[in-house]
Amino acid sequence: ASPHFLRTSPFPSTPTKTMAAISQQALCAKTSVAGAKLNAKRVSQRKAVKAFSARAQAVAAPAGTSLKKGVVTGDDYIAVMNHARANGYAIPAVNCTMSPIINACLEAAKKANAPMIIQFSNGGGAYMAGKGLKNESDQKAAVMGCVAGALHVRALAEFYGVPIILHTDHCSKALLPWFDGLLEANEEYFAKHGEPLFSSHMLDLSEESIEENMEISAKYLKRMAAINCFLEVEIGITGGEEDGVDNSDANPEDLYSKPEEIHQVYQALNPVAPGMFSIAAAFGNVHGVYSPGNVKLTPTILQKGQAYIKEKEGLATDKPVYFVFHGGSGSSRKDIREAIGYGVIKMNIDTDTQWSFWDGVKDYVAEKSPYLQGQIGNPEGAEKPNKKYYDPRMWMRAAEEATCKRLLEAYEDLNATGAMTK
């Protein structure tokens, strides 16, 4: 018989008619957790939190080839981040909305011989579930799409021979039902496999006061630490627009985090689960891509934040927190490398990979245009078939190749090419 994880819906209230429209992959992706059983497990899991946190702090950055291959979570994920920090590189994080983009990421990671972060936004998850399924306020479609994407990655990642991190992107307060659904899936997976389905998740409560942001984040971090799942938080505002969130008119002052705010995050989260969180601090970065000179990055904000925490907490390390670089598309290599020097271990790339994916299709259509005007008839003859040219695998492969090429450039920018040999 199929295991419970593969045959039971986490959403018993979902109408049968609606469920029939969901792909088999999404059906296999859904999970359920019996409340009483989960509560009993949480008791024992919480006892492991402090022990895990201590291990996380003690995990050394091992030689590159000793990093675990395939999806990494818990100690293995911490080891990858410490390896990146110790060797002066950062890991690209790509928003994926379909399997061809996932496959392009895996291919690029293999070619670069370096780790990769595959992440899903709320909208991306809903798209993965299929646009024929409406994403209601309960966010079930987004949850199922993200879980389906994660299972796709888990089925393939190990064969590509590099560490792969599974992550979800911005989650505002309004989208917390999505976050809750993801954690339920993680807890179910953890109960069966001893690790969470995802490596990490992001809470973006930057629109709330920093006090409320940290209060909610700390509660979720405690729950996540019990299953060895990592948390990313955001303070300040990343400008621009992404996945339906538009901060184009944000107050310029909010685009730059203060050292005291970064320290406030450390004070709120480190006692809950030391070393199990990262910070997306604002240093002038924006979502989207803009003409040179329109984005005023100030990476030294990150340096000041690290120094402030070190001084206030009396720490020996120069980089007490992991930083995340949002809005990386279009940034100069100089700014990227400087930010890495101050503790950035992850950089988000979305706009540039969206363009590369389209660019590959555009160039393919331009090159093969005479063969794409009808099913039959091309320059080789009026009766010649064109099936091999309009086959989706042909033009989709062109999109994958263009995206892989762009990601290899990102690996160079991030000083991450050949990271597994460092």
Q: Is 386 helix (H, G, I), strand (E, B) or coil?
A: coil
Contacts 24+ apart (CB under 8 A), 31-37: 31/5, 31/147, 31/184, 31/185, 31/188, 31/189, 32/4, 32/8, 32/188, 33/184, 33/187, 33/188, 33/191, 37/191
352 is catalytic: no
| C-beta neighbour count of 183 within 10 angstroms | 22
Q: Is 415 helix (H, G, I), strand (E, B) or coil?
A: coil
Phi, psi of 293 (to 5 degrees): 95, -15
Strands 376-378 and 381-385: antiparallel
Contacts 24+ apart (CB under 8 A), 304-309: 304/259, 305/257, 305/259, 305/262, 305/263, 305/281, 306/342, 306/343, 307/259, 308/259, 308/260, 308/262, 308/263, 309/259, 309/262, 309/263, 309/266
Asked whether the beta carbons of 101 and 353 are under 8 A apart, the reply is yes
Asked whether the beta carbons of 235 and 170 are under 8 A apart, the reply is no
Check 169, 204, 350, 352 and give the catalytic one.
Answer: 169
User: In a 10 Å sphere around its CB, with 0-12 CB exposed, 13-18 middle and 19+ buried, how is residue 403 labelled?
Assistant: buried
- 226: which strand partners? none
Active site residue ranges: 169
